[in-house]
Amino acid sequence: MTVFNQEHLLFTPAPPQSDAIPTIFAFPNEYTIGITSLGYQLVWKTLALRSDVDISRLFTDIYEPLPRSPELLGFSFSWELDYINILNLLESFEIPLYSNQRNNYQPLVFGGGPVLTANPEPFAAFFDVILLGDGEELLDNFIDAYQEIRTADRKIKLRYLAKIPGVYIPSLYEVTYYSLDGGVKSIEPIDNDIPAVIKKQTYQGNILSASTVVTEKAAWENIYMVEVVRSCPEMCRFCLASYLTLPFRKASLENSLIPAIEKGLTVTNRIGLLGPSVTQHPEFEILLDYLSQSKYEDIRLSIASVRTNTVTKKLARTLANRGTRSITIAIESGSEQIREIINKKLTNKEIIQAAINAKAGGLKAIKFYGMAGLPKEKDSDIEATIRILEDVKKVTPGLRLTFGCSTFVPKSHTPFQWFGVNNEAKKRLKYLEKQLGQRGINFRPESYNWSLIQALISRGDRRLSKLLELTRNYGDTLGSYKRAFKELKEELPSLDFYIHRDWKREQILPWHHLHGPLSQQTLMKHLDESMSNT
C-alpha cells in the first residue's frame, strides 16, 4: 500500500477531461513534510477540482503517476533551502535550470508560497511564472488565462500571463545595477505592454482554509488543520507574517470554523488551530466553549503561537483537557524598551501572568520565543530577558520553561527591511545559553549561521541565482556560501552587503516592482515611529 492509499481525502477530485492540462504539482521535500503544508494541500485541491487540469503530485521521495509531457510544472515553496531540491527536480526532468534556456516543448515552471511572495528575486531566473499572494482566486485566474493561450508560442504565453493581476513573469523585467558589485539602479518592464508593478493578491473572504487531506504519514500525524485567522493585527515591525499578509482577517465562526472542525472530526480526533494570532479572533471565547463540550472530550487540540495577554486559565484548562501539555508564546525580548521599538504591545506583568495562568490551568510546560540582535538592542536588554525568565521560573515552580531564540533577520515589506543582521547577535546567543543554563532554564537557539543564510536570501537580488546554483553542489552550510562568494567575487556584491549592512532608504530594493499591502512610505513612517522610541 502506498502512502497515497492511506490518505483520508476531504474532497472529491474531478475526473479530468480528455484534453485536460497535464500538470505536475511538486513540494520540494519529502512527502511527510509536504503533505503537512496547508498551502500545498489547498493548491492541490484547487487544481484537482478542475476537470480541465490533470494533476499529479510530486515529492522528493514519492510521486503519483506522472504525465510524459507536462505543460505545467508547479512548486509550492515554503522553506528557503528547498531551492536545492527544486533545482534537482528540474534536472531530473531534463528541464534547463534557467527559464531563458527553455523551449516550446518544455513545461512552464511556476511557483508560489511564502518564500516567493516575500522576495522571489534570488530565484527569479529559475521560474517562468511566479504567483504572488493568496491563491484562492489567483490560481484559478492563472489557469483560466493559460487555457486561453495554451497552444501559443512560449514567449506569447508569458506576455499574456503577465497581464493577470498577481502573476509575475521575471523574464519580462530588466534589472540594472550601478556596477557588478553595486546596488540596484533600476527595475523596468522590457516594454510598455508589461505592467510596471505587480501587486500581491489578497483574498478578502471570511471562509478561510482547512485541511483537504488527513494522513498518519504527515509530520503532524493525523492532524486536521483549521485556519482561524490570517495575518496579525499587532504589526510587530520585523514581522513578515503580519505585514506581508495584511489586512487581518478572521474566519466566520458559523460559516467557516465550526463546519470545518465538524468535517475534520469525521476522519480524525486531532485538531490544530492555525494563524499568527489565533486567540485574537473576536469570537475565540465562543470557539473555546464549543470545543469544551462534553461530546468533544476525546479530541486532541493544539494551537499555534498564542498572544501573551490572551492566555487565560480557561484557555489553559481547555487545552490541558484536550491533550495539550504546553503552550508557545512569542515575547521577542524581556526588555520593555525593545518591545516598544518593535511595537510589541506587551508588559512584563502580562508575561508573568500568562505563565501563572498556564500552570493554574493544568499545562505542564511553556515555551517563550525571543530574538537576539533586534535593532537598537544593547547588552542590558539581553540581561532584561534573563531577568524576566528568572521571574517566571520563581512564580511557576514545576512548570517546564523553555526559551527559543533566533537572530533578527530583516524581511522584505516590513519596516525593518532596511536593517542588517547585528554582528553582536552570535555573542549574545552564546551569553544567553550560558546564563540560562546556570539558572536551569532550557535554551533552544536557532543556528546563527542559518539566520545569516536566511538574511542573504531574504534581501537577495537576481545576481544570487548563479551563487545558489553553486551552493547546491557545495552543500547548505555558511561555509559553502562564503566559498561561492569568493568564486563569484567580481560578479556580485559582498556577503556583508546583503547580510549585515544597513541599507539607505533611497536605495532601490530588489523587490521594488513587487508591491505588498503597504507602501514604502508607510513602512518608513512605521520605522520612524519605532526609532522615536529609542
Average pLDDT, the chain: 95
Same domain for 174 and 109: yes
Same domain for 263 and 183: no
Same domain for 237 and 150: no
Same domain for 268 and 181: no
Q: Is residue 201 part of a domain?
A: no
Query: How many CB atoms are located within 10 Å of the residue 305 CB?
Result: 19
Same domain for 416 and 356: yes
Q: What is the pLDDT of residue 475?
A: 84
pLDDT tens figures, 80-129: 999 999 999 999 999 999 999 999 999 999 999 999 999 999 999 999 99
Same domain for 245 and 111: no
Tally of structural domains, the chain: 2
Same domain for 173 and 114: yes
Q: What is the CATH number of the domain that holds 258?
A: 3.80.30.20
Whether the predicted pLDDT of 261 surpasses 80: yes
Q: Is residue 207 part of a domain?
A: no
Last residue within a domain, chosen from 195, 213, 240 = 195
Q: Is residue 481 part of a domain?
A: no
pLDDT tens figures, 208-256: 999 999 999 999 999 999 999 999 999 999 999 999 999 999 999 999 9
Q: What is the pLDDT of residue 111?
A: 98
pLDDT tens figures, 375-388: 999 999 999 999 99
For residues 303, 306, 309 and 314, what is the CA-based torsion angle, rounded to 10 degrees?
Answer: 10
Give CA separation, 445 vs 201, 252, 307, in Å: 34, 37, 21
Q: Is residue 202 part of a domain?
A: no
Average pLDDT for 155-184:
96
Residue-wise DSSP of 345-407 = ---HHHHHHHHHHHHHTT--EEEEEEEES-TT--HHHHHHHHHHHHHHHHHSTTSEEEEEEEE
Whether the predicted pLDDT of 1 surpasses 80: no
pLDDT tens figures, 328-349: 999 999 999 999 999 999 999 9
Which amino acid, one-letter code, is at 418?
W
Q: What is the pLDDT of residue 290?
A: 94
3-class secondary structure, 104 = coil
| Spatial contact of 471 and 460, defined as CB atoms under 8 Å apart | no
Q: What is the pLDDT of residue 2?
A: 85
Same domain for 510 and 379: yes
Q: What is the pLDDT of residue 45?
A: 97
Which structural domain, as residue segments, surrounds residue 288? 222-459+503-531
Last residue within a domain, chosen from 159, 180, 195 = 195
Whether the predicted pLDDT of 414 surpasses 90: yes
Q: Is residue 336 part of a domain?
A: yes
Same domain for 313 and 187: no
Same domain for 188 and 226: no
Average pLDDT for 443-457:
96
Q: Is residue 415 part of a domain?
A: yes
Hey, what's the cell of 42? 489547498
Sign of the Cα pseudo-torsion (432, 434, 440, 446, in order): positive
Q: Is residue 470 part of a domain?
A: no
Q: Is residue 464 part of a domain?
A: no
Residue-wise DSSP of 417-448 = GG----TTHHHHHHHHHHHHHHTT-EEEEPPH
pTM of the model: 0.96
Q: What is the CATH number of the domain that holds 154?
A: 3.40.50
Last residue within a domain, chosen from 142, 177, 195 = 195
Same domain for 183 and 227: no
Report the C-alpha gap between 445 and 467 in whole angstroms: 27
Report the C-alpha gap between 9 and 7 in whole angstroms: 6
Same domain for 231 and 167: no
